[in-house]
Amino acid sequence: MRMALALAQAAADAGEVPVGAVLVNEATGDVVAEGANAPLAGHDPTAHAEIVAIRRAAAALGNYRLTGLTLYVTLEPCAMCAGAISHARISRVVWGADDPKGGAVVHGPRLFEQPTLHHRPTIEGGVLASEASDLLRGFFRARRGTGVAPAR
């Protein structure tokens, strides 16, 4: 999670909403891929940290199924990211800050609880939550009144 927080800080430094993600092989502890929010830089609304990390891991492993991996992400995944996590068959998801407004795991649609979902990862929230929340709060506090509408 500390690596994900460092990626989130790098995203903030680049003007992106500070969210970072790291995919780790559960058996070896090796980092398979990482990602940071980049929708502004990439002109891509799907470039959330989780999606960036998932795309990189799939390319690195030569497989769209990412079983045996744990995703560490600094913010509760949104519906788009939760859907991608399920499709990729990621085994476990660990996040820092809850997202009551945009989250889709324990908030909103609670996607992993839907009976039609083909895969449900093990989930754990609140890991280094205060650090992740502080980073997000500081980012948005600095942006207030600037006229810049940050993307997730």
Q: pLDDT tens-digit profile of 26-62?
A: 999 999 999 999 999 999 999 999 999 999 999 999 9
Domain count of the fold of the chain: 1
Do the Cβ atoms of 30 and 3 come closer than 8 Å? no
- Would you list which residues are annotated within the binding site for Zn(2+)? 48, 78, 81
Q: pLDDT tens-digit profile of 61-78?
A: 999 999 999 999 999 999
Active-site residue, from 16, 26, 34, 50: 50
145 has a pLDDT exceeding 70: no
Do the Cβ atoms of 17 and 35 come closer than 8 Å? no
Q: What pTM value is reported for the model?
A: 0.93
Range of the domain at 55: 1-131
- Would you list which residues are annotated within the binding site? 48, 78, 81
Any idea what the CATH number is for the domain that residue 47 is in? 3.40.140.10
Between vectors from CA 112 to CA 108 and to CA 118, what angle results, nearest 5°? 140
User: Is 142 inside any structural domain?
Assistant: no
Residue 28 DSSP class: T
50 tagged catalytic: yes
CA distances to 40, 123, 135 from 14, rounded to whole Å, are 9, 29, 14
Give the pLDDT score at 143.
86
Give the pLDDT score at 70.
98
State the amino acid at position 65 in one-letter form. R
Q: For 90-101, what is the mean pLDDT?
A: 98
User: Is 81 inside any structural domain?
Assistant: yes
